[in-house]
């Protein structure tokens, strides 16, 4: 079967990455949507911010444990049923968070429900469908899909702040979930169909199609033994530990400067908007310049953002939000790109799965650590200084990478 051109792929399936992007945005509603709720929840129940954000740690660790089983289920039944059911479950679970009564154990139980509900909307579901339809233009299709997180980072804080101001945080969670469900679910039902989401008779024809040549690259064991893999894993861990904490706590950081919640949420929305530019711009640069140097430069941006917040206070909020957004839009793109260049595609799924564990651990522990530091010192400044140090180390890990072994991978995609 002849390969389609990029133009024909977009002509046939342009709605799929858009629907997948909405699905991917749904998968992070509890991450990017939490920041604006941290302060009112903590004040309502007299909790520390560590208690309030520990639920996010629980949810992220549970998701990391089930990454491989979910991927196997996608291969077995296709991504569509998981995506459709998962969007409804995730929005429902987010609404349930608003039923918190003040019991810490009930709060953690609600977050366990949130974690289980989000399993069918993990990134694997949305990227698997897009990858099955796009070959010649897979990179751009992935970029549009992953921009769903950028939309989430821009929209959810703003929407949450408006709803909290009008109805209080508990009712706001229910309304936010319902509004997003009404936006995302119809589009996903209509347009989210990967190549595996077809009748079994057609699926057999697809399976019988000629398979591409064996991709080149390192085996799983060879990759694990490489110091390059260790450096990428540590860079991933340090990066997500700091950047996700900055995103989740950006609104509380600004309210600590004296801004009201609505103004702080509006500035936090800049993170989402500029993460779109960061994602598309980084993809452009990775194709044209040394990828490790591009990644190292991008990973330095949170340092400048942290220093601006420390030294300038509220006057540094806008440039800090822009820099955090540009970095947030680049992190997965950089790590995926470098992994394919250094390890090839032979065992890419397994090797990238290990890197996703590091990314998930950083996501789970970073916001919690920032909360613990605030609870101890009554300010976020110590965490911002820690961000400076960790991002320097993360950037140096990328700069230390040698020349990639697999510079040209296009043959494996044709």
Task: Give the pLDDT confidence score for residue 366 in this predicted structure.
Answer: 85
Per run of 10 residues, the mean pLDDT along the chain (length 414 residues) is 65 87 91 85 86 83 76 74 93 93 90 91 78 69 79 85 90 94 94 72 47 57 81 87 84 82 79 80 73 84 88 84 81 73 65 74 82 84 89 88 63 36
Buried b (16+ CB within 10 A) or exposed e, 364-379: bbbbbbbbbbbeeeee
Residue 217 backbone class (left: φ over 0; alpha: ψ -120 to 50; beta: rest): left
User: What homologous superfamily is domain 218-414 in, according to CATH?
Assistant: MFS general substrate transporter like domains (1.20.1250.20)
Q: What are phi and psi of 217, to 5 degrees?
A: 150, 180
The CA distance from 352 to 31, in Å, is: 22
The CA distance from 245 to 35, in Å, is: 10
CB-count exposure of residue 233 (10 Å: 0-12, 13-18, 19+): buried
Buried b (16+ CB within 10 A) or exposed e, 295-309: bbbbbbbbbbbbbbb
Model's pTM, two decimal places? 0.70
The CA distance from 340 to 251, in Å, is: 36
Helix and strand totals (H; E) in the chain: 22, 0
For the structural domain made of 14-198, what CATH number should be given? 1.20.1250.20
Parts of the chain belonging to CATH 1.20.1250.20: 14-198, 218-414
Task: Give the pLDDT confidence score for residue 338 in this predicted structure.
Answer: 79
The CA distance from 308 to 95, in Å, is: 35
């Amino acid at each position: 079967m002849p390969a389609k051109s990029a133009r024909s792929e977009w002509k046939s399936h342009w709605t799929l990455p858009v629907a997948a992007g909405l699905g991917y945005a749904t998968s992070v509603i509890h991450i990017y949507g939490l920041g604006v709720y941290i302060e009112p929840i903590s004040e309502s129940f007299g909790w520390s911010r560590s208690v309030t954000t520990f639920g996010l740690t629980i949810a992220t660790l549970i998701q990391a444990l089930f990454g491989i089983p979910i991927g196997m289920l996608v291969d077995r039944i296709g991504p569509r049923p998981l995506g459709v059911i998962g969007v409804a479950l995730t929005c429902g679970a987010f609404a349930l968070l608003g039923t918190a009564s003040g019991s810490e154990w009930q709060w953690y139980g609600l977050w366990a429900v949130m974690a289980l509900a989000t399993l069918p909307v993990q990134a694997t579901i949305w990227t698997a469908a897009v990858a099955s339809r796009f070959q010649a233009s897979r990179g751009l299709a992935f970029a549009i899909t992953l921009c769903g997180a950028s939309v989430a980072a821009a929209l959810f804080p703003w929407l949450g702040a408006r709803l909290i101001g009008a109805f209080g945080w508990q009712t706001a969670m229910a309304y936010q979930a319902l509004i997003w469900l009404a936006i995302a679910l119809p589009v996903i039902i209509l347009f989210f169909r990967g190549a595996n989401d077809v009748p079994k008779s057609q699926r057999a024809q697809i399976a019988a199609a000629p398979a591409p040549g064996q991709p080149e690259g390192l085996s799983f064991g060879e990759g694990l033994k490489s110091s390059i893999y260790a450096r990428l894993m540590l860079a991933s861990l340090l990066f997500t530990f700091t950047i996700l904490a900055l995103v989740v706590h950006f609104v509380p950081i600004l309210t600590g400067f004296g801004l009201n919640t609505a103004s702080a949420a509006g500035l936090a929305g800049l993170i989402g908007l500029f993460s779109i530019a960061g994602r598309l711009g980084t993809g452009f640069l990775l194709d044209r310049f040394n990828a490790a140097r591009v990644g190292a430069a991008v990973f330095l941006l949170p340092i400048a953002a942290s220093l601006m917040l420390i030294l300038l206070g509220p006057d540094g909020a806008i440039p800090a939000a822009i820099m955090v957004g540009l970095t947030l839009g680049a992190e997965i793109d950089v790590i995926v790109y470098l992994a394919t260049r250094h390890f090839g595609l032979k065992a890419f799924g397994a090797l990238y799965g290990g890197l996703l564990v590091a990314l998930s651990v950083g996501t789970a522990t970073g916001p919690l650590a920032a909360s613990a530091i605030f609870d101890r010192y009554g300010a976020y400044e110590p965490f911002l200084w820690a961000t400076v140090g960790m991002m320097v180390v993360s950037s140096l890990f990328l700069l230390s990478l040698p020349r990639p072994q697999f510079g040209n991978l296009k043959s494996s995609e044709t």
